[in-house]
Chain A
């Protein structure tokens, strides 16, 4: 581990609060529910984690927290990182940027949601190291199995072994989700390393106000 206990807690708490305040949209009594992916579906909240991963301090902290956990493991067995698009690449960049600081060379490539429609019709972008295990890195592990699908393609199309661990910022589990909206049976015990679960965040607008003493107010232009 590269961080002391207090420093690790400080970085973790900084990131937790940043997500809680800036990267979760919660519908309150004065706003309509959000349209869902399913045309009939409606959401009461949604994660917008790129509001966090495009923040330089957040990205730096995540890179440090990642290597704090995985540096010793990496030194024992080198791995490469696959980041599913569109949310994974900023996290891959954060990990690479801190690797630069630590003098570590780590290969990162990305997985597309669909094959490119021209050129080589490729599913992956970047370059891969033959035989080196692949760790999947994504912003959230949720009910939509994008990361797991990409992991299967890594094995089938690239013929590469998977690393034992998956890494995400958020594991979307918690007592307030319907079982159908969770993925608790998708990963083996200890396989998914996530910095946060939904228990770390205010679950709705009312709870946010109770926790912080004011209504949620996102910063910046929303377009």
Chain B
């Protein structure tokens, strides 16, 4: 099993076996995460910078915890104190980080392509923790991990993604990743929330009728409606959105008995779903996704720092 990536920026550059390696490794780290002492010395002496140029609590916490459990030294560099805010260019900021002799940069940025720019200007490994509306590969990997734990295989698995697909970096990685693994993807939402070319992401079907496609699905992935970011009002009201695209107790009877519900969090009760579905003990795997995030991020960091440029092909 060879794993020869230095960066995790564009999930489309990963093969199905690369992704399986990450998932298998994540499973090994899951064992670590269930111990009393949830820490291994694997990345002792490695310095990882969490460069979050956009506010994020959850993703950053997940990365930070993953870093700590791998014994890496992590530095949070971002927020309102960043140089970028003060007018320094991204490239100059990266040059500064390089002087700290770092081994990895985890970057969240509101601009698509920023992780790529960073990777061009640093000898360190780069993980994209979400860039603009482009990609969020570790989110896709944790989603895949969760689905894999429940469904064992992706082959022919029918996954429906509901909501704001057009403005979603989660979809930018998740749809291609699901396709790489052999799943069948349906995008569901109003035209105002669709990307210009769903086929370019890899979607097999597009629908505006949740009730119509729900009976087919093995996995329903509800995207977060960003209440704070509804520029240009893509739908008339949250009430109407919930009526058309919300996963409700009433709609459960349309679902297969073993269909699971995913959500990248944080959830909006009463928008993406009602509390019955959000808390559904058999179907809702939302908290498992959060747990998977730690395992997958530990795996990605372990594989990137170990796999890149080591000159060995095991």
A and B form one complex: no
